[in-house]
Amino acid sequence: MLVDGSPIGSSGVVVDSEGNWEALAYLFGAPAPVIRVQDRSTTALSNQITVHPQASFSLGPPVPANLLTAVLPLRHADILVIASTISPQHVLYGPSYTHTALYLGGDGNGTPLISEAIPGSDPSAQTYGQVRSLPLESSTVWTEANRMSGWHASTALTGSTRDAIVAWAKTVAPTPPASLSGLPYWNVSTLLNEVDGADALLVAFGGTITSRFTAFLNVLNSAKNSTTSFICSTLVWRAYYEGSGHALDISSPNNMTAAPGSILGSLPSSFLGLFIQELDPVLVVPQTFVTSPKLSQIF
Amino acid sequence: MRFILAALIVIPVLSSDVRAQTFSDNFNRPDGSVGNGWSPYGAGAALAGGELRTIGSPGLGGGVVRSLSVAFPLSFSFDFSTADPANGGWFIAFNAVSTLVPGPAMAQVSFFQFAGSRNVYRNINDPTEASPNLPEPIPGWENYGSAPAHIRGHVNADLSSVITITYADSVQVTASWAATAPGPIGAALVLGNSSAYFGPHFFDNLLVTSTCQTTPCITSPPDGASPQSSFCGTFGN
């Protein structure tokens, strides 16, 4: 990928088995940069396009340090997983990643779009809604993260599957103004209350699975499978599930863990394994994706 | 395979088949400024009810222009309707040098029609060539009205061209031209009315599919795009 004749990124852009490629090119600093791509084997140059990117600059997550070019290989339907130090998930299970979103690709003007679900208490919910699609640099992926990573399916998706994943996400997570009156994030307390409640019951009953414990899990399972409200990870998981015709379930296996010092991590070790095992099928979190053998890390 | 900066790794060569490059605009945006990289010219244009509403004026016409370089062969289509059937006509120019108001834009090739029952003209920076070049009103041809007609055209690399008009009542007529040398080559797409009369004259569902003459080929975004970002999401083949 050449911008004003100079290469960007370090590893180029991959052409898939269908003969297509995508690139997310960083352009800040040039008012009207000229973009071309070049075939590395023949040195043949593509047609050139001149674009007029937004003049303002906003700094994204500091990690990775090469973020601006690390995103170059992103393709539509790839997954972004980020870490934020302000997430309440730290208290619950101490994850290394706390938010996830779907990269939708560029719109007709090349603006990179993101689908994400965020709590109504987040300030940006007033402008963009809670379950929404919006430009990358307006998303919390960009504005609230300390660290970002990109992931794609370990088994390459076809173009039509990528299209279907993105189309499903755009349907449930529209752009403003539709997103302002669109679907909500889960009740913020649902995740913490249900997990806490199940946790307390399991301990109280000495590791016995009671009907009340199962009821807490059923609430979580219902929320996971809801298509009328989402958390970040259920939005991404469901988009993949529906877009792949139910062939790709990235919530399973669920290798989430609990870090020492968190609520779940403080469970007696004899109960922790059982508890996580019971949570696995009913709860999908960002940590699920970064530990999934069905996904591979891009950066 | 990988593209990159005059890179060093030997990789398989891309196939040499031709690639499509598409630009479309359904104008389904809020009423008012046209946006999407378009600028008005002549007597003006704006969005209204999900259509492009253009105003005619003596010696000016009116419409929109945007940056878009295209390669031939190409196909194009759009819907057209007018509030002034006797004087409602359209105009489209490819690789225009400018809108050059008044008069047809200087372009590699442009087409226009003053009313639905009149001849269609291909303009290669003058002289214009009429098709079917019959006395007007042409028998069997119809004026445009408030219901949209569909105009579809194909322009070959030698600029030989065919335009098919499907009126709102499904009647179809055709205009065609032989090969010719190109006019001055610019980098703009122009769409507007060809009318000296107010109208208004409406356009919708514009689609231009040109052949990318290169491999590799950037198919999106179009030349002149304005991403609302410091990044630009591109794709091609």
The average pLDDT across A49-66 equals: 88
What pLDDT shows up at residue B6?
30
**Is position A61 within any domain?**
no
The average pLDDT across A256-273 equals: 79
CB contact under 8 Å between A106 and B232, yes or no, is yes
The average pLDDT across A228-237 equals: 96
Would an 8 Å CB–CB cutoff place B37 in contact with chain A? yes
> In terms of residue numbers, what domain contains A138?
75-299
The average pLDDT across B195-207 equals: 95
Q: Which two tokens stand for residue A265?
A: 């991590």
Shortest alpha-carbon distance between residue A81 and chain B (Å) = 19
The average pLDDT across A48-74 equals: 90
**Is position A62 within any domain?**
no
Whether the predicted pLDDT of B18 surpasses 70: no
Higher pLDDT, A295 or B185: A295
CA gyration radius, chain B: 19
Whether the predicted pLDDT of A56 surpasses 60: yes
- Both A48 and A80 in one domain: the answer is no
The partner residue sitting opposite B235, judged by closest CB among A2, A9, A22, is A22
Neighbour tally for A245: CB within 10 Å: 9
Cα end-to-end span (Å), chain A? 18
CB pairs under 8 A between A and B: 210
**Is position A66 within any domain?**
no
Stated pTM of the model:
0.68
Using an 8 Å CB-CB cutoff, list chain B residues near A36.
Answer: 218
Which CATH number characterizes residue A91's domain? 3.90.1720.10
- Both A132 and A48 in one domain: the answer is no
- Both A40 and A84 in one domain: the answer is no
- Both A116 and A258 in one domain: the answer is yes
- Both A171 and A266 in one domain: the answer is yes
The average pLDDT across B216-237 equals: 88
- Both A210 and A244 in one domain: the answer is yes
d(CA A187, CA A137): 26
Three-state DSSP class for B40?
Answer: strand
The average pLDDT across B9-19 equals: 34
CA gyration radius, chain A: 20
- Both A169 and A212 in one domain: the answer is yes
Q: How many domains does chain A have?
A: 2
What pLDDT shows up at residue A221?
92
| pLDDT level of residue A190 (50, 70, 90 thresholds) | low
**Is position A89 within any domain?**
yes
Chain B segment 45-84 residues within 8 A of A by beta carbon are: 67, 69, 71
Higher pLDDT, A168 or B160: A168
Three-state DSSP class for B66?
Answer: strand
Q: Could you report the per-residue pLDDT of A33-46, keeping only the tens digit for each?
A: 999 999 988 899 98
Whether the predicted pLDDT of B137 surpasses 90: yes
Question: Averaging pLDDT over each range in A239-248, A252-261, B9-18, B162-171, which range is the top one?
Answer: A239-248
Residue-level length of chain B:
237
Q: Comparing A66-70, A135-139, A226-230, B106-110, which segment has the lowest mean pLDDT?
A: B106-110
**Is position A159 within any domain?**
yes
Q: What percent of chain B has pLDDT over 90?
A: 56
- Both A106 and A41 in one domain: the answer is no
What pLDDT shows up at residue B125?
63
**Is position A113 within any domain?**
yes
- Both A123 and A28 in one domain: the answer is no
Q: Could you report the per-residue pLDDT of A94-122, keeping only the tens digit for each?
A: 788 999 999 999 988 899 999 999 999 99
Residue of A49, A69, A75, A127 to mutate, testing the B interface (most B Cβ within 10 Å of its Cβ) = A49
The partner residue sitting opposite B3, judged by closest CB among A12, A47, A54, is A12
Three-state DSSP class for A14?
Answer: strand
- Both A240 and A290 in one domain: the answer is yes
- Both A173 and A283 in one domain: the answer is yes
The average pLDDT across B144-151 equals: 97
| pLDDT level of residue A289 (50, 70, 90 thresholds) | very high
Whether the predicted pLDDT of B7 surpasses 70: no
With b for 16 or more beta-carbon neighbours within 10 A and e for fewer, the B92-123 pattern comes to bbbbbbebbbeebbbbbbbbbbbbbbbbbbbb
The average pLDDT across B83-106 equals: 81
CB contact under 8 Å between B6 and A43, yes or no, is yes
| pLDDT level of residue A135 (50, 70, 90 thresholds) | very high
Would an 8 Å CB–CB cutoff place B233 in contact with chain A? yes
- Both A20 and A114 in one domain: the answer is no
